[in-house]
A and B are shown apart, each in its own frame.
Chain A
């Protein structure tokens, strides 16, 4: 036993420095492809950097211009916030709703799960963006369907008030990935809790708000943060479906960054904008983390 312990200890010491060898690829990759670009973009954001000419330092000008002189910037910022507010809660609520139904111990659950998950695999592709653009165009299939039902056609992508919502639908259509996470979470809720509630005569609504929802909050929280980050940087949908229109109502942040950096080659300015995006995402994430003790219930970290 003693010798085994000694061996173990020497084993630990021996393999100690080896750890660095295994993580070496990541250290190099992190320094070259993540940390350096991260710092460089911060530096660029104080310059008028462009591939076309030598760069010079412009101080805070990019930031000042963005917030005071660039009308499109505010337009894009507000469109992006609206989009996040439509797409993320919509997707998560729908995913939760369907997960609860699927959790009712029905048969063929695997079949439904597969069908609902499929759009999550394909949704990010150009093919689906093209499809969406066609389905919801003025003389697209959705309107043909509405006409058959006697409903007048709707200009889904041409109406500035509807276009963002139509793009949000594409996100909600991909609810399957979140649903699978919620379903796994629901399975992990101990059934004693429900039995106890039944004995106490709690109604369904009470059970949902007092047991199901609190037990799921860590998963909801994780999903919320990840989906929010994704929605804030959405590029494919505005670029391919609406080209930012109509009236720039779908000119989302990701598309604005791309155009400034790679179409207008204003890379210093785009870097400043990307830093504001970074700060916004950090603020939202921090807010979610900070508020989570109030609404997140962790099994191993209760307060009693």
Chain B
């Protein structure tokens, strides 16, 4: 073997070692959290090992019961009640609007689309107080309507942008020939655009699911009664309510709260990673 070849092999070898070590560092906190949920409180503080010396399941049963009158079953159900309609309506409304922008000519279109892009840059912090007052006047506070209704009106402009980019990539000739065959524009949307947009639609749904699932600030502002708490509020509560935190319970419930996004990620990671790459999405 020539010297250059050996050098190259060495470089590949070193790269693998480096990538593996980095991978371990990246997932170590997650694995540690998982193992901590089975550890005793003492061991959590005294060891960095990923394998518990004594396995206790009290973290899960105790944590699930919660400290107050509601179990984590309730908080899971609440989170789904908030997230699923929001995701569904986001997909429908963004798709309609994106189709309108991508396929039709109308006056002020350029200006209106510029507004879509501008609202992308608008930090939500600027509008949060008047929005709160608005929802207060509508009587929507302490319900999931502040999440669901705006989704029905395509206010998550990021997804409009993403779908417009995707629809533009679909050849226009397809719609035109369908039109000549007598298809209405709505039928063109449902029969031609939607099937071809599937990857983009799936990415919209996944991203919106994960973002809404993880959202903490908005539930914190809009939801006040414990009965309606989402998981993120419930987790915060376990930290702040009790004086002595039972860490394995906190860790156990934290682990459970991450299960839906993790499962979604592993089953759809093709869309995730490629959706990000093709649309230039942030994560």
Q: Which A residues lie at the B interface, using CB under 8 A?
A: 4, 7-8, 11-12, 15-23, 25-30, 32-34, 36-38, 40-41, 44, 51, 98, 101-102, 104, 106, 112-122, 124-128, 130-132, 134-135, 139, 141, 144-145, 148, 173-174, 176-178, 180-181, 183-184, 219, 222-223, 225-227, 229-230, 232-233, 235-236, 239-240, 254, 257-258, 261-262, 267, 270-271, 274-275, 277-278, 281-282, 285
Instruction: Provide the B4-47 mask, 1 if CB < 8 A to any CB of A, else 0.
Output: 00000000100110110011001101101100000000000111
Chain B interface mostly: helix
Contact status B160-A177, CB under 8 Å: no
Closest Cβ of chain B to A36, distance in Å, is 7
Contact A236 B216 (CB under 8 A): yes
Give Cα A134 to B249, complex, Å: 13
Min C-beta distance of B222 to chain A, whole Å: 10
Contacting pair A37 B127 (CB below 8 A) = yes
What are 6 sample pairs from A and B whose C-beta atoms fall under 8 A apart? A19-B100, A112-B23, A116-B22, A126-B235, A127-B257, A144-B46
Q: Is B208 an interface residue (CB 8 A)?
A: no
Q: Which of A44, A126, A285 contacts B129 (CB 8 A)?
A: A44
Q: In whole angstroms, how far apart are the Cα atoms of A281 and B19 in the complex?
A: 35
B residues near A233, Cβ cutoff 8 Å:
123-125
Q: Are A258 and B247 in contact (CB-based, < 8 A)?
A: no
Q: Please name all residues of chain A whose beta carbon is closer than 8 Å to the beta carbon of B22 when the two chains form the complex.
A: 98, 116
A-B contact count (CB 8 A): 276
Name the distance in Å between A208's Cβ and chain B's nearest Cβ: 15
Which B-chain residue is minimally distant from A22 (CB atoms)? B100
Chain A, residue nearest B283 (CB): A177
Q: Is B214 an interface residue (CB 8 A)?
A: yes
Complex interface: chain B residues within 8 A of A40 (CB): 130, 133
Cα separation A229 to B158 with both chains bound (whole Å): 14
B262 interfacial by beta-carbon distance below 8 Å: yes
Contacts of A20 in B (CB 8 A): 100, 106
Nearest-CB residue, chain B, relative to A232: B123
Bound Cα distance A236, B160 (Å): 26
- Per the bound structure, the CA–CA distance linking A183 and B124 in Å amounts to 30
Q: Which of A7, A21, A33, A281 contacts B180 (CB 8 A)?
A: A7
Cβ contacts under 8 Å, A29 to chain B = 93, 150, 152-155
In the complex, the answer to whether A270 meets B257 with C-beta atoms within 8 Å is: no
How many chain B residues touch A (CB < 8 A): the figure is 93
Query: Which chain B residue shows the least CB distance to A184?
Result: B277
Shortest Cβ distance from residue B206 to the other chain A in the assembled complex, whole angstroms: 9
Contact B282 A23 (CB under 8 A): no
B273 x A113 contact (CB < 8 A) = yes
Summarize A's interface: helix, strand, loop or mixed. helix
- Return chain B residues, CB-CB under 8 Å to A26: 93, 97, 100, 116, 153-155, 157, 160
Q: How far is the CB of B89 from chain A (nearest CB, A)?
A: 9
Q: A114-B269, A115-B23 are in contact. Are A124 and B211 (CB under 8 A)?
A: yes
Smallest CB separation, A298 vs chain B (Å)? 14
Residue B55, interface by CB 8 Å: no
Known: A23-B97, A141-B32. A257 touches B127 (CB 8 A): no
- 16 more A-B contacts (CB under 8 A) besides A120-B283, A124-B214? A16-B106, A23-B100, A25-B97, A26-B153, A29-B150, A33-B153, A116-B22, A119-B30, A122-B261, A122-B262, A127-B257, A130-B235, A144-B46, A219-B280, A240-B239, A258-B217
Q: How far is the CB of A174 from chain B (nearest CB, A)?
A: 7
Question: Using Cβ atoms and an 8 Å threshold, which residues of chain B touch A145?
Answer: 48
Asked if B97 and A180 sit within 8 Å, CB to CB, the answer is no
CA distance A36 to B26 in the complex (A): 43
Output the least CB separation between B268 and chain A (Å): 11
The answer to whether the Cβ of B128 comes within 8 Å of any Cβ in the partner chain is yes
**Residues of B with C-beta under 8 A to A34:** 119, 122, 127, 155
Chain B residues, Cβ within 8 Å of A235:
216-217
Interface string of B122-165 (1 = CB under 8 A from A): 11111111111110100000000000001011110100100000
Interface hits, B207-242 → A, CB 8 Å: 210-211, 213-217, 220-221, 231-232, 235-236, 239
Docked Cα-Cα span, A121 to B212, in Å, equals 12
Task: Report the minimum CB–CB distance from A251 to chain B (whole Å).
Answer: 15
Nearest residue, chain A, Cβ from B235:
A126
A126 touches B236 (CB 8 A): yes
B51 close to A (CB within 8 Å): no
* A130 CA to B251 CA, complexed, in Å: 8
Residue contact B250 to A130, C-beta cutoff 8 Å: yes
Distance of A233 Cα from B45 Cα, bound (Å) = 33
Query: Inside 8 A of B283's CB, which chain A residues have their CB?
Result: 117, 120-121, 174, 176-178, 180
Distance between Cα atoms of A12 and B254 in the complex (Å): 54
B265 in complex: contacting residue of A8, A121, A127, A278, CB < 8 Å: A121
- Contacts A11-B179, A115-B23, A126-B236 given; indicate if A223 touches B282 (C-beta within 8 A): yes
Instruction: Give the distance to chain A from B228, nearest Cβ to Cβ, in Å.
Output: 16
Closest residue of chain A to B272 (Cβ to Cβ) is A117
If the complex has contacts A32-B153, A174-B283, A274-B126, are A126 and B16 also in contact, measured as CB distance less than 8 A?
no
Contacts of B155 in A (CB 8 A): 26, 29-30, 33-34
